[in-house]
Structure 1
Amino acid sequence: MSLVLTLILIVAVIIAGLVWFAGNTARKVEAAVPPRGQFMDIDGQRLHYTDSKGTGPVLVMIHGLGGTMWNYHYALVEKLTGEFRVITVDRPGSGYSVRPDDAPATLSAQAATLAKFIKALGVSRPLLVGHSLGGALSLSIALNHPDCAGALALIAPLTHAQDDVPEVFKGLVIASALVRKIIGWTLAIPMSIRRGPEMLKIVFGPDPVPADYPLRGGGYLSLRPKSFYNTSSDLIAVNDDLPEMMTRYGSLSIPVGMLFARQDRILDFQRQGEAMKAKLPALDLVATDGHGHMLPLTVPDQAADLIRRTAARQQVPSVASA
């Protein structure tokens, strides 16, 4: 056998091993963290969600980049279920929600899907709770589907376009969908396992990373090829709509509250929080010190207080459907 054929064989075996490892890891992850809710099909997509069916104002909780509904169920949902009907949803392509690979990942496309989801539930103008990228998505729903948003409670939200990607997410900046998929099925999973602990320290810091976050907080679900592909797609598409959205923030007339940590290492408080306050003076902006980006998990009491205060400002509360 020639040297060239030997090298080709070695490369093929390595690639096959990486693909097997990625698939096997995904199966183990899904066995450890199975779906916790129910499913709804909308426009060729399948959304995974939970619904407490409680009475009171309706909350629809939307998570951030690379996250899942487990980010809310970790500590925040239990503080709200006695007062609200709490609906959590895996964003299109995240967690156990399925998005076709060729479906757009823009904020406007995801907002349209979630607006149809809200209407299908028979919910009228709920209070949207959005963390990080989920904050930008909540804003897109409020701007483009006003009948699906009665108020916004934004937690460490992305509100303004930015050219610089946080260091921890730079490995997701892959313009080609084909390359994105190849990396997802080869290098992404072993690299995520190796670098995961250090990345989580940045995402959570200066708060400590909860020891049970991978399981109870759904962190393990990121160790799947489809999660890598869709998270990269979300990041690549995020600035497609934000610049235009920024010009309309002043038109929002619904109650908007925001909780932001000054020491956030992912999104800058001044560029995302204070900049939003400048465009929307009625914004109820609450800044906290000594914490990082993952506020729904690390300061659930403060997050719950923001949600309650925003709900109190909502002129027409959303009540659970019969």
Structure 2
Amino acid sequence: MALERTSSPSFLSDFQSALRRRPAVAMVAGAAALLAATALVNRYFARKAERENPPQGRFIDIDGVRLHYMERGSGRPLVLFHGNGSMIQDFQSSGLIDLAAKDYRVVAFDRPGFGHSSRPRSIVWGPDEQADLFQKALERLGIRGAIVLGHSWAASVAIALAIRHPSFVEALVLASGYYFPNPRVDLATPSVPAVPGLGDIVSNTISPLVARLMWPGLMRKIFGPQSVPEKFAGFPVEMAVRPSQLRASAEEAAMMVPIALAASKTYSELTVPTVIIAGEDDRLIEFEQSARLRDKVEQSRLRRIAGAGHMIQQSATSDLMAAIEEAASMSAKGERDPAHVDR
């Protein structure tokens, strides 16, 4: 006896019919599909950026963190910490590494989550945690008594290293730092990718697209009132807008004000010669932050760079190099209570 063949609507037809009956479900499904596709595209571009910008330095593993660092030159050790959202290529493209390597043993790190360094999610990477990590890295590299330069957000890391591990820091150069808490409504949006759960979705889908669109305007702000120098073209933008790096940047943006609040109570503990340098026309962090720090740190000098903005390592490289030389000179002379100098 022949079996009767029965026809039934296909699964696809049933699905389409269900979506027509429930438009809200259709919208959610469409949005989810779009986000998934966007995440795949962002992952592709992130991997492409890493292939096109391979590590130029070496790696060192410290407590589960794979730190990427670049070393140049010989002589007194000079350690460079880049700001939030940046990486070694900032100092490299500025020419500071090559300039300093003529007289110093320069070691520049990709901080956790930036460049080619990892950033384990099990730790909140505040300045203290990063300072402890870098102390172990410097010890492994045989470095003590270094001149330590921290730019922007990393100025807090340099300060924490000097306070928590003073034998590793001979002098400080603090460039364009944020030292005292004040209202920063501009940090609300950049901090969104740091929100647990939501942050993972945003940083893997929307944030890279928005970051690419906003990049030119952001550069005008952080370099202003000066124009973006041609040498900055060597900075790998696609590395900076990877989902992983955007999340790390968001975490540091979210910590910015509370870190300044806590750190502002510790500045009297700084006991090493310190040169504070900042652009007079910084549009990201007002110059008054640096002037206030000068008044809090006894062994400090202030360099005011007229007409410069936030990115003084790029737009005022020779001035920053002079600040390094000044810090080295103060330390070599054993200067422990220099007069405050405002230049």
How far apart are residue 240 of structure 1 and its match? 4.1
Q: What's the CA shift string for 1:184-205, capped at 9, x where partnerless? A: 1110011111111111111111
- What percentage of aligned pairs have identical amino acids? 25
Residue of 185, 192, 195 corresponding to 2:214:
195
Aligned equivalents of 2:46, 2:231: Cα separation in 1: 19
Contact 1:206 1:263 in 2 (8 A): yes
Aligned to 2:57: 37
Residue of 94, 108, 114 corresponding to 1:88:
108
Residue of 255, 259, 267 corresponding to 1:237:
255
Matched position secondary structure for 2:69? strand
Matched position secondary structure for 1:98? coil
Aligned to 2:75: 56
Aligned equivalents of 1:8, 1:242: Cα separation in 2: 41
Aligned equivalents of 1:310, 1:62: Cα separation in 2: 16
Matched position secondary structure for 1:29? helix
The code of the aligned residue for 2:31 comes to V
Aligned equivalents of 2:149, 2:37: Cα separation in 1: 41
Aligned to 1:309: 326
Count of residue correspondences: 312
Aligned equivalents of 1:310, 1:72: Cα separation in 2: 18
Aligned equivalents of 1:301, 1:315: Cα separation in 2: 21
Matched position secondary structure for 2:197? helix
Q: What's the CA shift string for 1:159-180, capped at 9, x where partnerless? A: 2233315x3x542222522211
Contact 2:91 2:313 in 1 (8 A): yes
1:173 aligns with 2:188: no
Aligned equivalents of 1:130, 1:287: Cα separation in 2: 16
How far apart are residue 76 of structure 1 and its match? 0.8
Contact 1:107 1:238 in 2 (8 A): no
Change (3 A) 1:186 1:285: same
1:164 aligns with 2:181: no
Q: Which has the higher contact order (CA 8 A, sep 6+)?
A: 1
Change (3 A) 1:285 1:133: same
Aligned to 2:42: 22
Matched position secondary structure for 1:172? coil
The code of the aligned residue for 1:257 comes to V
Residue of 290, 293, 296 corresponding to 1:279:
296
Aligned to 1:219: 237
The code of the aligned residue for 1:197 comes to P
How far apart are residue 237 of structure 1 and its match? 2.5
Contact 2:178 2:260 in 1 (8 A): no
Contact 2:74 2:106 in 1 (8 A): no
The code of the aligned residue for 2:270 comes to L
Aligned to 2:228: 209
The code of the aligned residue for 2:35 comes to I
1:71 aligns with 2:90: yes
Contact 2:232 2:314 in 1 (8 A): no
TM-score (norm 1): 0.91
Aligned to 1:106: 126
Matched position secondary structure for 2:180? coil
Aligned to 1:261: 279
Contact 1:68 1:218 in 2 (8 A): no
Q: More deviation in 240-249 or 64-73?
A: 240-249
Contact 2:276 2:294 in 1 (8 A): no
Aligned equivalents of 1:102, 1:51: Cα separation in 2: 29
How far apart are residue 211 of structure 1 and its match? 4.3
Aligned equivalents of 1:209, 1:113: Cα separation in 2: 33
Q: What's the CA shift string for 1:141-172, capped at 9, x where partnerless? A: 1111112211001111222233315x3x5422
Aligned equivalents of 2:323, 2:231: Cα separation in 1: 25
Aligned equivalents of 2:153, 2:28: Cα separation in 1: 42
Aligned equivalents of 2:176, 2:123: Cα separation in 1: 27
The code of the aligned residue for 1:188 comes to S
